């Protein structure tokens, strides 16, 4: 499976492509950054991000796109810009019918380093080691993009199994509810039939009363 990892941003949008093999085998394909000048207006900057991502999608033909999920920061303007860039990337992938998955920074760090609190230097060091790179990818946005691609490759089998287990559990629950409703309808139908033929509790009580009244009349 080939994954394009994206660390979204307006100033720097990190892009990294990794191929996954059997088990936890991963192979480096490419890494880079799309940059946009801060003096440009927002629409123009988003267009540059979109063009850059489109070029990478055409060049590398990934099967999945993994994007870092935006989380709250102190700088609101940075969060908004990052979210807008992530939306542009997701849209570009959706136009090609590619599945898009979002991973939080802590999920990526845990997958790559074993700690959700790892800093950027630790992520870069582990990405370099895992992919067997001759030198660390720069800037950190590029390393994070590769980390996201690795994270998805390593988490995808587990997520697939969890999804299958949830679907199976939901199917069993629906089947159980159907059996309960069927049993309830069947039980109600049998009770009505028994009552109509004089075998139910209500009809039995009425027959007993009629028999007692008959005997009293005879006497």
Query: Which are the catalytic amino acids?
Result: 7, 68, 141
Q: Which residues contact 95 (CB under 8 A, 6 or more apart)?
A: none
Q: Give the CB-side neighbour count of residue 31, counting CA atoms within 13 A.
A: 25
Q: Which of 8, 115, 109, 113 is nearest to 52 (CA)?
A: 8
Please give the helix or strand (H or E) that residue 186 lies within, else none.
helix 140-196
Q: Which residues contact 26 (CB under 8 A, 6 or more apart)?
A: 18, 19, 20, 130, 131, 149, 150, 153, 154
């Amino acid at each position: 499976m080939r994954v394009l990892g994206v660390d979204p941003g307006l100033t720097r949008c990190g892009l990294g492509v990794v191929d996954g093999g059997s088990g936890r085998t991963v192979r480096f394909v490419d890494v880079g950054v799309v940059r946009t000048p801060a003096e440009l207006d927002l629409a123009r900057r988003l267009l540059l991000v979109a063009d850059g991502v489109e070029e990478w999608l055409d060049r590398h033909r990934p099967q999945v796109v993994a994007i870092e999920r935006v989380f709250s920061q102190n700088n609101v303007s940075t969060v908004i810009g990052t979210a807008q860039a992530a939306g542009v990337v997701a849209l570009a992938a959706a136009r090609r019918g590619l599945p898009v998955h979002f991973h939080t920074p802590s999920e990526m760090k845990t997958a790559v380093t074993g700690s959700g609190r790892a800093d950027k230097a630790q992520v870069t060091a582990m990405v370099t080691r895992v992919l067997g790179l001759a030198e660390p990818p720069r800037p950190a946005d590029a390393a994070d993009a590769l980390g996201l691609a690795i994270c998805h490759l390593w988490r995808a089998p587990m997520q697939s199994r969890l999804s299958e287990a949830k679907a199976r559990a939901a199917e069993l629950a629906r089947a159980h509810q159907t059996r309960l409703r069927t049993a309830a309808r069947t039980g109600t139908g049998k009770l009505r039939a028994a009552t109509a033929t004089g075998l139910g509790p209500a009809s039995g009580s009425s027959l007993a009363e009629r028999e007692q009244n008959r005997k009293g009349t005879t006497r």
